[in-house]
Amino acid sequence: MLIVTTENIPGKNYEVLGSVFGVTTQSRDIASDLGASLKSIVGGEIKGYTKMLNNSRFEALKRLEKEAATLGADAVVMMRFDSGSISADMQSVAAYGTAVKFID
C-alpha cells in the first residue's frame, strides 16, 4: 500500500474513504532504563530509547496500513506521526492519515 505524507499523489485521482490511524504504546525494560540513567550523566544518544521509538513508529505504521486495507484503500495520504510520553519509561506513537481509493 502506498503511504505518503503529501496531500496529492501525482497522476492519481482518488476518492476519500476516511481517516485511519495506528497506535502503539511501548516501554523499555529495566536494564535499558538503567543504561539510560547512566548515559544521562555523560550525555549522548540513548540507543535503547531510539530503538524503542523506531519500533513504535514501525508498529504504528503497520496498524495504520491494516486499518486502511480494511476500508479497501489503495493508499493513505497526509500521513503523520504523533508521539507522547505516558510515564518516564513509556512512549505512545500514533500514525494517522486519510485512506483513499483510486478512481482511474
pLDDT on residue 77: 98
Which of the four pLDDT bands, split at 50, 70 and 90, describes residue 91? confident
Mean pLDDT of 3-20: 97
Domain count of the chain? 1
pLDDT on residue 85: 78
Alpha carbon separation from 33 to 24, 41, 42, 47, 72 (Å, rounded): 19, 13, 15, 11, 41
Domain that holds residue 91: 2-102
Domain at 26, CATH number:
3.30.110.70
Name the more confident of 4 and 43.
4
What are the tens digits of pLDDT across the range 33-74? Answer: 555 555 556 667 777 778 888 899 999 999 999 999 999 999
pLDDT on residue 48: 76
